[in-house]
Amino acid sequence: MTTTTTSPVLTATGVTMRFGGLTAVQSVDLDVHPGEIVGLIGPNGAGKTTFFNCLTGLYIPTEGSVAYEGTVLPPKPHLVTQAGIARTFQNIRLFANMTVLENVLVGRHTRTKEGLWSALLRGPGFKRAEAASKARAMELLEFTGLADKADHLSRNLPYGEQRKLEIARALASDPGLLLLDEPTAGMNPQETRATEELVFAIRDLGTAVLVIEHDMRFIFNLCDRVAVLVQGQKLVEGTSEVVQSDERVIAAYLGTPFEGAPGAEEAAEVEAAEAGASEAGATTGAPQDETQRGTTARTEDGQ
């Protein structure tokens, strides 16, 4: 699937984000090519979401630049979306008191241009644009399977459907690249599989996808390429196999063995943790496990 011949939709070059003395993201380079699904993984606090915020203009990177289809993006969220990068949020940020349809219509904002005057005068152009927006929004709701709930308030949707609606809303801006921030967090295995299907379908529509996720099965099923971010730095980037077998990745997630510790005991521990990791995300306890592992990794790296 990986196509290196085409020019990338997204080129992040040396993106660095510092908050005072803390370097959250340190000179990360990342390319996403058209039709690709790229995963971004890493322990909690590795800087994945910060990196996303740098890409979408919510943060202004301290150093480095982000380019969409060769053009460097200004660090303004609405201009980034207009250029063609849409995103979802880690903690769902729907417009809770708007209907499902209205949420998607807001997503159409950049692809329509009717201003106040045309709204007040209600000319034929306005009506046509409204009807077209509505038709496109319904199409997307159809696509995500929410069409029958178009008139519900988005706050009343069940959790899984709220996640879907966020994706539909992001797709409404006809993006060339979709950034998904933990799209399956808190989902049960069936919902996770459904999301997997949805992401494949989005890719088939011609939209490249960059996805942050903690559910390793989800990531390795889905992604053509996976980048691993640890402590703000990109550790490895490659296919699932490469990443899975990389010792540094395992160390980052699970920590390195203590010197002088009984080998057999350690090995058993690692095995148990691996078994846990393969189920990560499927159980609600997963994020906590992740935290512990992340902390372990960090302390040991510091030594």
CA–CA distance, 303 with 301 (Å, rounded to integer):
5
* Piece in contact with another protein (CB under 8 A), picked from 16-24, 91-99, 235-243, 294-302: 91-99
158-197 binders of another protein (CB under 8 A): 158-159, 161-162, 169-170, 172-173, 186
- Exactly one of 16, 62, 64, 98 binds another protein (CB under 8 A); which one? 98
* Closest distance to another protein from the beta carbon of 90 (Å): 12
CB 148 within 8 A of CB 179: no
* Closest distance to another protein from the beta carbon of 223 (Å): 23
CA–CA distance, 285 with 268 (Å, rounded to integer):
20
* Closest distance to another protein from the beta carbon of 55 (Å): 11
Contact map string, positions 240 to 279, toward another protein, x by CB under 8 A = ----------------------------------------
Q: Which is nearer to another protein, 185 or 277 (CB)?
A: 185
118-138: buried (b, 16+ CB within 10 Å) or exposed (e) per residue?
eeeeeeeebeebbeebeebbb
Contact map string, positions 112 to 151, toward another protein, x by CB under 8 A = x-xxx--xx-x---x--xx--x-----------------x
CA 48 to chain centre: 9
Short-list 167, 278, 144, 145, CA closest to 218: 278
The answer to whether 69 contacts another protein (rule: CB under 8 A) is no
* Closest distance to another protein from the beta carbon of 298 (Å): 27
CA–CA distance, 107 with 87 (Å, rounded to integer):
11
Q: Which amino acid is at 127?
A: K
CB 62 within 8 A of CB 108: no
* Closest distance to another protein from the beta carbon of 48 (Å): 17
* Closest distance to another protein from the beta carbon of 221 (Å): 25
- Exactly one of 1, 14, 71, 93 binds another protein (CB under 8 A); which one? 93
* Closest distance to another protein from the beta carbon of 172 (Å): 8
- Exactly one of 28, 41, 105, 229 binds another protein (CB under 8 A); which one? 105
Gap between the terminal Cα atoms of the chain: 40
Residue with tokens 């990196």: 51
The answer to whether 94 contacts another protein (rule: CB under 8 A) is yes
* Piece in contact with another protein (CB under 8 A), picked from 18-26, 110-118, 247-255, 287-295: 110-118
CB 88 within 8 A of CB 167: yes
Short-list 155, 130, 133, 158, CA closest to 145: 158
Phi, psi of 184 (to 5 degrees): -110, 10
Strands ordered across the beta sheet of 71-72? 22-32, 10-19, 63-68, 71-72
Contacts for 270 with CB less than 8 Å, ≥ 6 apart = 254, 257
Residues that bind another protein (CB under 8 A): 56, 58, 76-78, 81-82, 86-87, 89, 92-99, 102, 105-110, 112, 114-116, 119-120, 122, 126, 129-130, 133, 151-153, 155-159, 161-162, 169-170, 172-173, 186
